[in-house]
Amino acid sequence: MPESFEQIKKDYEFTEKDAKRIIKLKPYMEKYLNDFINDFYKFVFRLPNAKKFLKDEETINRHKNKIKEWYMELFSGNYDDKYFEKLHRIGEVHDKLGIPTHYINASFNFIRRWFIKKINQEFGYSRERNLYVESLGKLLDMNLDIMTKAYIEEEITKFLELSKLERKLIKISRKFADFLDMVLLAALIIMAIFTIGLFGYDVFELVAGHVSIEKGIITTLGSLLILWAVAELMAEEIKHLQGGKFAITAFVSVALAAVIRKILIVSLSPEDIEKIVAYGGVLLVLGIVYYLLKTKESV
């Protein structure tokens, strides 16, 4: 449980005056409830994996009712321990469902911009408008603070429940995993340099007339394809180093590029028909694996 909610209100300089101002805002904002629901879900479903969490009509409808309740309570003017405990529980529910904190932060950013637009519409650019924006801003920030605090506490509790040895092992394995990531990135840089070399060599062979124009162009295109796939792999690894998820499809796309390159080269000699069929089979299997992984990623 967080420190005293009263202290949180003090930290945000949220006073009785702010609460009273928000109550005055209530009748102005109540009438926008349905607009809010429409705009909020338009925003939420632009988040890449929102459908994974709000997965069917039933869940969406349940969520809509909960959001309506949250919206109305925001303007209740009653910000006691019960109000904040509820926000804390909402944070815990989202954490247990695995909803990224980033989604909650982005949602609150959207909500703040949305409210400011409506307040501007109602009050124009006046001193009154500034005071409403200030008070509601403090309240939204406290909402976000408490909801995301629940996430952090959940992580800390999980960590504290472990024995000393387990915690040490986790720390060591994290450091080792970071080290392996760096090794992987270094290896990818070396591979990219070699692939640039291969591309340069193919261009040289073509320009110097060591190979036929047809073979030269096809081989160069093949190495360009590999270079593109290695670049994709590096971009994924960098994303992973920055805390994102690693898309395994990047590895499959390298294999796809390598097989396509082989097919391009082999297709130049008609006597290698068996090889082409074999590579075609591999390409089909890789294509299916790539498709299945991509569909799973986007669910």
Q: Which residues bind ligand HEM (CB under 6 A)?
A: 44, 47, 50, 53-54, 59, 62-63, 66-67, 70, 89-90, 93-94, 97, 99, 103-104, 107-108, 111
Q: What minimum distance in Å lies between the beta carbon of 37 and ligand HEM? A: 12
What number of residues does the chain have?
299
CB neighbour class for 132 (10 Å; exposed up to 12, middle 13-18, buried from 19)? buried
Please, are residues 103 and 43 in contact by the beta-carbon 8 Å criterion?
no
Q: What minimum distance in Å lies between the beta carbon of 23 and ligand HEM? A: 20
Nearer to ligand HEM, 12 or 114 (CB): 114
CB neighbour class for 223 (10 Å; exposed up to 12, middle 13-18, buried from 19)? buried
- Give dist(CA 247, CA 234) in Å, integer: 11
Nearer to ligand HEM, 57 or 271 (CB): 57
Closest by alpha carbon to 262, among 232, 248, 233, 282?
A: 282
Q: What minimum distance in Å lies between the beta carbon of 134 and ligand HEM? A: 20
Closest by alpha carbon to 248, among 295, 294, 286?
A: 294
Nearer to ligand HEM, 103 or 123 (CB): 103
Q: What minimum distance in Å lies between the beta carbon of 292 and ligand HEM? A: 24
Nearer to ligand HEM, 64 or 215 (CB): 64
Nearer to ligand HEM, 92 or 232 (CB): 92
Q: What minimum distance in Å lies between the beta carbon of 136 and ligand HEM? A: 14
Nearer to ligand HEM, 92 or 272 (CB): 92
Per-residue tokens: 107: 């949602």
Largest interatomic CA distance in the chain: 87
Rounded to 10 degrees, the C-alpha dihedral 62/294/233/104 comes to -10
Say whether 162 sits in a helix, a strand or coil.
Answer: coil
Q: What minimum distance in Å lies between the beta carbon of 68 and ligand HEM? A: 10
